[in-house]
Amino acid sequence: MQDLYGRAVSYLRVSVTDHCNLRCLYCLPRDGARFHDPASLLGWDELGRVVAAAVRLGVRRVRLTGGEPTTRPGLVDFVRRVAALPGVEDVALSTNGMLLAPMAPALREAGLRRVNISLDSLRADRFHELTHFGDLHAVWAGIEAALAAGLGPVKLNCVVLAGINDDELLDFAELTRERPLHVRFIELMPLGTSHPWARERLFPVARMRERLAERHALEPAEVEGGGPARYVRIPGAPGTLGFITAMTENFCSGCNRVRLTADGELQPCLGSLLAVDLRGPLRAGISDAELTRLVERGIRAKPERHLMEEYLAETAGRRMWTIGG
């Protein structure tokens, strides 16, 4: 279906849990992270009903996120349930990769097509420092398992932080020359953290391109399920480089997605405080037809553009790990 601005909304991101086994510097505090009571999270059946309602309205692509989705038991069965819905063309997963290696074959068999893996450093010591509990070897095992299982394209999401990991841009570029990996460089968004350095650490995509161009000639490229990223390729490379300009150049006019949080809020925009509560009506016994109308209401509430710059203080207080990124 279309929102009020004529955009066809065909993509639903579903946060299946707010829990995570890492504490990335820009997302979760190392100590004192506050998670929802498990009883407040939507159950698998409730999540399934919402996804089915969205599919009835024209959603064709579903991405499962978190928190860290692989930490919630039952994920494989839920992938199978979503993939079996008539009208669903693509089921994808966003993960930090720590637990992916043993799960990749079963996820692929259940109907998962693609995977995005967060990877903000290629240096084991820095990766551990950025994530607090991360093991780079475990993540690489997950990447290799995803490739071996036939999940593709395999995308690596790197949030570029000025003065912290921006010196690794060329190292990430080399990965794409060696393997069919699609690295996406993402501008830091002021979400999920109250750190005063959020703006100071913003490394604009324009500077990323300049640094890469000093070493490599780049040509335009396309990647399946590209979303908001703009892709280029080092000539002859099997992989690509993508850029997501969330802050310096918004892509709101082409946004086709809405988000379901782990605790049952349908959020039409990552950078807005708008939300429609679905958990309450679900637990009050709402019918499928009524649920579909509520989801439609959420889609129609989608704003014309995000307001992260204007309302930095408010949006910075949102919990990225419950929203689904």
Question: What pLDDT is stored for residue 32 in this prediction?
Answer: 64
Q: Which of 20-24, 59-63, 165-169, 272-276 has the lowest mean pLDDT?
A: 272-276
Give the pLDDT band (50/70/90) at residue 52.
very high
Question: What pLDDT is stored for residue 323 in this prediction?
Answer: 62
Percent of the chain with pLDDT over 90: 71
Give the pLDDT band (50/70/90) at residue 316.
very low
pTM comes to: 0.92
Chain position carrying tokens 């991405």? 63
111 in Cβ contact with 83 (< 8 Å): yes
* Residue 312 pLDDT greater than 50, yes or no: no
Pairing status of strand 90-95 against strand 257-260: unpaired
C-alpha R_g of the chain: 19
Q: Which of 141-145, 214-218, 246-250, 269-273 has the lowest mean pLDDT?
A: 246-250
CA triplet 147, 148, 154: central angle to 5 degrees? 10
* Residue 211 pLDDT greater than 50, yes or no: yes
Domain boundaries, the chain: 11-323
For 248-281, the pLDDT digits (tens) are 776 676 788 899 999 999 998 877 778 999 999 9
Give the pLDDT band (50/70/90) at residue 325.
low
For 169-203, the pLDDT digits (tens) are 999 999 999 999 999 999 987 765 545 567 788 89
More confident residue, 24 or 253: 24
Give the pLDDT band (50/70/90) at residue 7.
confident
Pairing status of strand 114-118 against strand 61-65: unpaired
Strands (E), 41-113: 61-65, 90-95
Q: What does CATH list as the number for 11-323?
A: 3.20.20.70
The enclosing H or E element of 244 equals: strand 240-244
* Residue 157 pLDDT greater than 90, yes or no: yes
Strands (E), 96-218: 114-118, 154-160, 181-187
Phi–psi pair at 244, nearest 5 degrees: -115, 110
The enclosing H or E element of 316 equals: helix 312-316
Going across the sheet that includes 240-244, the strands are: 219-221, 230-233, 240-244, 181-187, 154-160, 114-118, 90-95, 61-65, 11-15, 257-260, 265-267, 276-277
* Residue 92 pLDDT greater than 50, yes or no: yes
Q: Which of 70-74, 91-95, 129-133, 313-317 has the lowest mean pLDDT?
A: 313-317
